[in-house]
């Protein structure tokens, strides 16, 4: 897995932020793992600001993937809600309570069997749950989400979700793995460089990197074409 250090040194050298008056010294600084503020020389974009921009870029890709229901990147950030009974408000954090839920919801599953429920019509689900005169005997597995509440025909469900908590730039351990797979590194780097502007510095370069970043983003998000149950159900609905 690629680390934050792998991304940061590529960002830093492109805005001439790494120390090294000679090629040998520059190489020494560039290959230092982990980089520290001592390896940085820019008075325009200091060490921590570059970490911030790197984390912004990573967050931007995560957000884009989170809003695409069948994107394979979701596997790196997946979590589940706590068990939800009929009519309960969908929480804003996962079952642990610490991680914020972002993006579109994934599969809705029976909390005891793990079976996936399909998206249904709220009035039908309400009738099935009311079951007047026990007219319905056959179990069904359907759910509907209206505003922030979930309604379903089983005892309780969990929702597969994407969670994301932005790492803190000040305390970031650069040898830690990034939150995405290796193929996201170029997108993170170019996305960060798109933000590397201060006053009139690096404006043209940022535009160029922004264009490349956009191509990477398009490529990365196009990978989310593998069909999944939730995606199919969205299309049906």
Partner 1 sequence: MALFNEVIYTICWNATRGMSPEQDISALLPVAESLWPSISQKVGELAAGSERKRSLLKRTKTLTVTNGTATLDDDVLTAYLEDSTLYDPADLTKTYGWIRNWNDFINPGLSSQPFANYGRYSVSGGVTFGQVEPGAVFDPSSGFTGSMTLNIPCVPVKPATQTTALDVADEILNDIYEIGSEMLRGLLLTQAASQAA
Residues that bind partner 1 (CB under 8 A): 117-121, 124, 127-128, 135-142, 232-233, 235-236
| Smaller CB separation from partner 1, 139 or 170 | 139
CB of 221: closest distance to partner 1 in angstroms?
A: 23
CB of 146: closest distance to partner 1 in angstroms?
A: 17
CB of 124: closest distance to partner 1 in angstroms?
A: 6
| Smaller CB separation from partner 1, 100 or 118 | 118
Angle at CA of residue 57, ends 147 and 228, nearest 5°: 50
Q: Are 58 and 188 in contact (CB under 8 A)?
A: yes
| Smaller CB separation from partner 1, 118 or 214 | 118
Helix boundaries (H) for the chain: 4-14, 23-30, 47-66, 122-130, 185-195, 203-222, 229-236
Give the C-alpha separation, 153 to 174, whole Å. 47
In sequence order, the 6+-apart residues with CB closer than 8 A to the CB of 49 are none
Residue in the block written with tokens 């890709």 = 61
| Smaller CB separation from partner 1, 174 or 232 | 232
CB of 153: closest distance to partner 1 in angstroms?
A: 8
| Smaller CB separation from partner 1, 67 or 136 | 136
Peptide bond into 63 cis (omega under 30): no
CB of 49: closest distance to partner 1 in angstroms?
A: 49
Give the C-alpha separation, 39 to 37, whole Å. 5
């Amino acid at each position: 897995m690629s680390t934050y250090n792998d991304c940061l040194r590529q960002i830093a050298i492109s805005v001439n932020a790494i120390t090294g008056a000679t090629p040998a010294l520059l190489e020494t600084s560039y290959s230092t793992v982990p980089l520290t503020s001592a390896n940085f020389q820019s008075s325009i974009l200091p060490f921590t600001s570059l970490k911030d921009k790197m984390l912004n870029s990573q967050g931007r890709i995560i957000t884009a993937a989170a809003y695409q229901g069948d994107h394979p990147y979701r596997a790196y950030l997946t979590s589940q809600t706590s068990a939800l009974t009929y009519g309960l408000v969908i929480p804003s954090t996962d079952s642990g309570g610490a991680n914020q839920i972002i993006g579109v919801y994934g599969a809705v599953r029976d909390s005891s069997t793990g079976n996936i429920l399909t998206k249904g019509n709220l009035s039908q689900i309400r009738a099935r749950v009311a079951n007047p005169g026990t007219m319905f005997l056959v179990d069904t597995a359907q759910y509907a989400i209206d505003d922030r509440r979930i309604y379903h025909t089983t005892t309780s469900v969990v929702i597969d979700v994407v969670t994301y908590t932005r790492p803190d730039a000040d305390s970031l351990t650069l040898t830690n793995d990034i939150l995405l797979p290796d193929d996201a590194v170029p997108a993170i780097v170019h996305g960060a460089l798109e933000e590397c502007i201060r006053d009139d510095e690096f404006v043209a370069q940022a535009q160029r990197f922004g264009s490349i970043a956009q191509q990477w983003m398009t490529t990365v998000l196009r990978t989310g074409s593998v069909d999944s149950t939730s995606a199919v159900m969205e299309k049906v609905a």
